[in-house]
Structure 1
Amino acid sequence: MTSTETPAPAFLRTLDHAVHRNHLKAAGLTLGEIRAAEDAGLIVEFRKEFYGPPSFAALTGRDRLLMAAAAYQRLGRTRDALLTGAAAAALHGMIEIDADSARPRPLEFLEYASDGRSVTRAAAVIRVDRVRDRESVVLDGVETTTPARTLIDMVPTYPHLLDDWVVTADRALRLGIVTRDQLVREAGLLRRRQGDVRVQLERLDERSRSEGETRSRLYFAREGMTRPELYETVYDYAGEPVATPPFVWPRQRVVGFCVEPVPACAFPDCDDRCTGDPGCAVDQHVDELFRELEAQTETDRRLDALGYRVYRWSGSRPSPDCGLCRLREDVGTPYRRVVRPGRFDYF
């Protein structure tokens, strides 16, 4: 009998909450019956191995995480374990939630038990902590590790992933989700890798206002370049402020801007719309872009008149193109260049 010929159990017609696939298997359902229920529109797989009523297909990424975590905890395999890792970081607002991923990362749980053991499954990973005291917060009914512990436990062991962690930590500090003191305290509770984690904490700077600025700052450090001042206001000879660039090298009289890429027009047929209409959204969009470019040009002109060399680049991973090569020459490289190991060296 094919999956489409297998009758769906009646209780699935009244399912109103999230369940893991093992819930359905424990109820006596086969994979054929589960697929038949999907084909009949009785249930939907809203996250890999997690099912719910058809309305769950419209859940936001955050709600999908919450429903999946609650469903897995109901399996009884996690005791009183706390949600941690990337899922907890997403719920805390440290990273973006990828709701459209076909293969989301497994949920991570942290169990505080002296006799527990770590378990790895396709849907979830359970780690055991035998050293630290249990500390948690509740987010929309799901108990998670604290923001500081979540972030400290996410410090990767692979060097090519450390920059991604710094980006996440900078964002958490900038948004006030955690404080530096909280991170230092959590690092001191670790049984292993305290030194490695403290080194990464020294690389953080909440003054970076975007991922691009954080990655640019890390790039400068790896290249051995003179450390810039962050967001230092430049004044003209009359004492009037000219600009507050993200990166300023005062002694070398060099400033740098890591700008967001200019967004493409949201209307593909701009030339055929709203001709002469004063309220046209297309015209307003284009006018706004032109005003930003004009303001940028005027700022660069005033900085140039003060003797500053201006560099601008965009993107979250700046590469050593011609412009940044000249930047290295202009600001100097008094420190040893650090070569990152592995094939994931983007620079």
Structure 2
Amino acid sequence: METPEILPRKRLRASGFADHEVRRMLGTGELSPIRRGRYLRGALPENREARHLLRARAASAELTGDAVLSHVSAALLHGLTVWGVPLDLVHVTRPGRTGGRRGTRLHVHTAPLREDDVVDVGGARTTSVARTVADLARTVAFEAAVVVADSALFGEYARRAELEAALESMARWPGAPVARRVLAFADERADGPGESRSRVAMARNGIPAPQLQWEVRSERGEWIATVDFAWPERRTVAEFDGEIKYGRLLRPGQTAGDVLFAEKRREDAVRDRRWGVVRWCWDDIPDFPTVAARLRRSFDRPV
């Protein structure tokens, strides 16, 4: 995705635009303010993550000393999937132990920064993927942290050993015990936030940990389907149904209806092998006890 150009006021002035012309363009929507003295041509993107990235890049250009983008701002800059983390403030980390502050636009953290904790992403100094995941795992809710950690592992942005090393370097920091739980729970096979959140919901509702990306095969070993979750010993599989997931399955010339029909045929083939099939969607995750009951009924059915 192409990064929109951020226009500093001094560049506009150098191009001959007086302050009153800048104010006029802001009034007409030709320019949109990102932060004080920095603008975007046209309207701001509707996507909250994209807006945060613009603010983060604008803030990065003004950072001094050894300060770097960090936490959720770094996660988005690296391309990690983020869910359930507030995006109202840009997060920055400065080396040190005191002096952190939270303002109306910027959350400044203070913490030691090793040389390998800092990388350059498109001209912006930011914490590495491993350090970013570790920082979020220490400071956000467990479910949100698992989404980020799964994303880093599934997308091969970082190896598990790198995440473990980052956590080891902050073993006595606040939140480190929770962060270790997050990493122990993280799974490189979890494809997207729906699957990550579903795994957390299963654990909270006493559902045994499933196999992920399980291949259902015929008696002759022929592939029938790859499912999100499976409990082979209970002859049960499960699928998280998300709109984004079905969008990924679209092939050239296919419609959403074509994909749904193919999914139905695939499910019928799985059921023909005497596997129980349970499905849920985004709206079901907050009310997961209902889904858990359906899973248990499938576990207990005679096969």
Show CA shifts across 1:215-267 (max 9, x none): 11111111111221112211112321111211111111111111223899xxx
Call closer, same or farther: CA 1:61–1:106 in 2, change over 3 Å.
closer
Alignment of 1:39 onto 2:38: no
Specify the alignment match of 1:300 in structure 2: 267
Specify the alignment match of 1:331 in structure 2: 299
Q: Is the 8 A contact 2:68 2:92 kept in 1?
A: yes
Call closer, same or farther: CA 1:259–1:316 in 2, change over 3 Å.
same
Show CA shifts across 1:147-192 (max 9, x none): 111111112546xx21011112111211111111111001011132
Specify the alignment match of 2:58 in structure 1: 68
Q: Is the 8 A contact 2:81 2:147 kept in 1?
A: no
Tell me, in whole angstroms, the C-alpha distance in 2 between the residues paired with 1:53 and 1:195: 41
Alignment of 1:246 onto 2:228: yes
What's the CA shift for 1:291? 2.5
RMSD: 3.5
Call closer, same or farther: CA 1:223–1:85 in 2, change over 3 Å.
same
For residues 31-110 of structure 1, the aligned pairs below 5 Å read 39-41=23-25, 44-47=31-34, 49-52=35-38, 55=41, 61=51, 64-65=54-55, 67-73=57-63, 78-95=64-81, 105-110=88-93
Tell me, in whole angstroms, the C-alpha distance in 2 between the residues paired with 1:230 and 1:63: 32
Residue type at the aligned position of 1:248: A
Larger Rg: 1
Call closer, same or farther: CA 1:133–1:296 in 2, change over 3 Å.
closer
Call closer, same or farther: CA 1:104–1:262 in 2, change over 3 Å.
closer
Residue type at the aligned position of 2:59: A
What's the CA shift for 1:323? 5.3
- Whose strand proportion is higher, 1 or 2? 2
Q: Is the 8 A contact 2:52 2:73 kept in 1?
A: no
Tell me, in whole angstroms, the C-alpha distance in 2 between the residues paired with 1:254 and 1:80: 52
Specify the alignment match of 1:165 in structure 2: 145
Specify the alignment match of 1:183 in structure 2: 163
Q: Is the 8 A contact 1:44 1:51 kept in 2?
A: no
What's the secondary structure of 1:155's corresponding residue?
A: helix
- Whose helix proportion is higher, 1 or 2? 2
For residues 120-131 of structure 1, the aligned pairs below 5 Å read 120-130=102-112
Q: Is the 8 A contact 1:85 1:108 kept in 2?
A: yes
Corresponding residue to 2:282 among 315, 333, 336: 315
What's the secondary structure of 1:244's corresponding residue?
A: strand
| Percent identity for Structure 1 against Structure 2 | 24
Q: Is the 8 A contact 1:88 1:145 kept in 2?
A: yes
Call closer, same or farther: CA 1:317–1:155 in 2, change over 3 Å.
farther
Any gaps of 5 or more consecutive residues in structure 1? 1-9, 17-32, 98-102, 265-283, 333-347
Call closer, same or farther: CA 1:323–1:154 in 2, change over 3 Å.
closer
Q: Is the 8 A contact 1:46 1:56 kept in 2?
A: no
Tell me, in whole angstroms, the C-alpha distance in 2 between the residues paired with 1:94 and 1:182: 16
Please identify, of 216-225 and 190-199, the stretch whose mean Cα deviation from structure 2 is larger. 190-199
Call closer, same or farther: CA 1:50–1:317 in 2, change over 3 Å.
farther
Tell me, in whole angstroms, the C-alpha distance in 1 between the residues paired with 2:290 and 2:281: 14
Q: Which has the higher contact order (CA 8 A, sep 6+)?
A: 1
What's the CA shift for 1:120? 2.6
Any gaps of 5 or more consecutive residues in structure 2? 1-8, 247-251
Corresponding residue to 1:216 among 185, 198, 213: 198
Q: Is the 8 A contact 1:213 1:316 kept in 2?
A: no
Tell me, in whole angstroms, the C-alpha distance in 2 between the residues paired with 1:70 and 1:95: 21
How many positions carry a matched residue from both structures? 273
What's the CA shift for 1:106? 2.1
Tell me, in whole angstroms, the C-alpha distance in 2 between the residues paired with 1:84 and 1:295: 42
Please identify, of 49-58 and 136-145, the stretch whose mean Cα deviation from structure 2 is larger. 49-58
Show CA shifts across 1:269-302 (max 9, x none): xxxxxxxxxxxxxxx97x6333323322222222
What's the secondary structure of 1:219's corresponding residue?
A: helix
Q: Is the 8 A contact 2:44 2:51 kept in 1?
A: no
